[in-house]
Chains A and B, each alone.
Chain A
Amino acid sequence: KAGVTQTPRYLIKTRGQQVTLSCSPISGHRSVSWYQQTPGQGLQFLFEYFSETQRNKGNFPGRFSGRQFSNSRSEMNVSTLELGDSALYLCASSLLGAGNTIYFGEGSWLTVV
Chain B
Amino acid sequence: GDSVTQMEGPVTLSEEAFLTINCTYTATGYPSLFWYVQYPGEGLQLLLKATKADDKGSNKGFEATYRKETTSFHLEKGSVQVSDSAVYFCALSDNSGGSNYKLTFGKGTLLTVNP
Bound together, the chains give a CA A106 to CA B108 distance in angstroms of: 17
Do A90 and B43 touch (CB < 8 A)? yes
Q: Which of B19-27, B70-78, B98-106 contacts A (4 or more CB under 8 A)?
A: B98-106
The contact string, 1 if C-beta is below 8 Å from chain B, for chain A 6-30, is 1000000000000000000000000
Size category, A interface: 20 to 34
In-complex Cβ contact of B43 among A31, A48, A56, A104 (8 A):
A104
Do A103 and B101 touch (CB < 8 A)? no
Interface: B85 (CB within 8 A): no
Do A102 and B89 touch (CB < 8 A)? no
Chain A positions 27-72 with a Cβ under 8 Å from a chain B Cβ: 31, 33, 35, 42-43, 45, 48, 50, 55-56
Do A45 and B98 touch (CB < 8 A)? no
Q: How many A-B residue pairs have CB under 8 A?
A: 72
Do B102 and A97 touch (CB < 8 A)? no
Bound together, the chains give a CA A100 to CA B101 distance in angstroms of: 9
Chain B positions 24-48 with a Cβ under 8 Å from a chain A Cβ: 32, 34, 36, 42-46
Question: Which residues of A have CB within 8 Å of B95?
Answer: 98-99
Do A94 and B101 touch (CB < 8 A)? yes
Bound together, the chains give a CA A45 to CA B43 distance in angstroms of: 15
Do B100 and A97 touch (CB < 8 A)? yes
B residues touching A (Cβ–Cβ < 8 Å)? 32, 34, 36, 42-46, 49, 51, 89, 91, 93, 95, 98-108
A residues touching B (Cβ–Cβ < 8 Å)? 4, 6, 31, 33, 35, 42-43, 45, 48, 50, 55-56, 88, 90, 92, 94, 96-107
Inter-chain pairs besides A6-B43, A45-B103, A102-B101, 9 sampled, C-beta below 8 Å: A4-B43, A45-B102, A48-B102, A90-B43, A94-B101, A99-B32, A104-B36, A105-B43, A106-B43
Q: List 19 A-B contacts (CB under 8 A).
A: A42-B105, A42-B106, A43-B89, A43-B91, A43-B105, A50-B101, A88-B43, A92-B103, A96-B101, A98-B93, A98-B95, A98-B98, A99-B51, A99-B93, A101-B49, A102-B100, A104-B43, A104-B44, A107-B42
